[in-house]
Structures are given as structure tokens and as C-alpha cells.
A = this chain, B = another copy of it.
Amino acid sequence: MSLRAILLITLQQEPGTGYDILQRFKAGLAHVWQASHQQLYRELDRMRGDGLLTCETVPQAERPDRKVYHLTAAGGEALDTWLAEPLAAGPVREPLFAKFFAWERWPADARRRELGDLHEQLTQRLATYAAIEEEWFAAPERLTPAQRAPWHTLRLGQRLTQTWREWIEEVLEEGE
């Protein structure tokens, strides 16, 4: 259901094609959601079949037709229903943690390399977050609540990433 909800939210803000939505994901929702184009096209078609969306085909010269999807009234209701009911807690699945349970078999050099690489990725992610924050949320106190809401998600992303990074540093220090 989550992908559906994401698509309902995206299309409620503005109608668009599968391709458009992918671009929006890359631009602003990347730290919130990722999906492949195959998933999008399949899901959009199903949602149309379920009456949540309508599809308007816009022919183009020398290019495939654009299929612009719009939210229907039923789609809006489905979104409101989803927003109203609390989300079920997802299952815990942390593959990296599994390696810690096979510590003796996990070669020390592979471990240092893997944790080091991860540390670097997290550092990079923090830089990306900082750039997004500077560009969009430079003055959070002057934003409306609705504008500040996405900023909150960014802030949590930052803090979780920092927490991870500190932890990696500690683990690496210990196995000096």
C-alpha cells in the first residue's frame, strides 16, 4: 500500500506521467522514497484500473505519447483513509547486523573495509542533506507548517545518519 500512497500524494500535488514522478522522486523525495520506473508504470496502471486515477493520453510528435495521470475523487478518498489510519510497524531487517552475529567468520580486513566504506557513504549523505537544507530550508522559522513538515523529515534523516556514523567510528576504534 505504501507505494500507492506515495503516488497518491505525488499526484494530488500535481498531475503527471510516470516519468515526471520519477523526476520528482529524484529531485526532492530521494531521502524519503525510491522506486524503479517499472514499479511506477505497473502501479499507475493498476491504480487506474482501481479507479483511483484517470489517464489522459497526450500525443507527441516523434516521441511516445505522454500518459498524464490525475487523481480521481476515489483517489482522494483513498489518500485520506490512508492518512487517517496509523501505519503498522515494519519488520526489522538489518543485513549488516547479521554479520556481527558471525563475527569470528567475518575477516577483519573485510570488516574494516566494509565499515569504512559505509562511513564514507554516510558522510556523503550528510553532505547531500546539508546542501538540501541550505537550498530549501535556509530559514525554517519563516516557513508555514506545511512547508516545515518536509524539513522535519530531513532533520531526522540527518540525525539518524549521524547516529549511524558515530556508531561505526566506535566499532572501528575498538577493533583498532
Binding site for B on A (CB under 8 A): 2, 5-6, 9, 12, 29-35, 79-80, 83-87, 89-107, 110, 113-114, 117-118, 121, 145-146, 148-150, 152-153, 155-156, 159-160, 163-164, 166-167, 170-171, 174-175
Contacts and interface: CB of A to CB of B under 8 A. Distances in A.
Nearest to A88: B95
B167 A152 contact: yes
Copies held by the complex: 2
A66 B169 CA distance: 44
Nearest to A111: B83
A9 to B, nearest CB: 5
A153 B100 contact: yes
Given A34-B91, A87-B95, A100-B153, 13 more contacts: A2-B98, A9-B98, A9-B102, A32-B94, A33-B94, A34-B93, A86-B113, A100-B152, A145-B174, A159-B163, A159-B167, A160-B163, A163-B163
Contact of A145 (B31, B117, B156, B175): B175
A164 to B, nearest CB: 7
Contacts of A174: 145, 148
Contacts of A93: 2, 33-34
B105 A80 contact: yes
A76 B35 CA distance: 34
Contacts of A86: 110, 113-114, 117-118
A113 B87 CA distance: 11
A75 to B, nearest CB: 12
A7 to B, nearest CB: 10
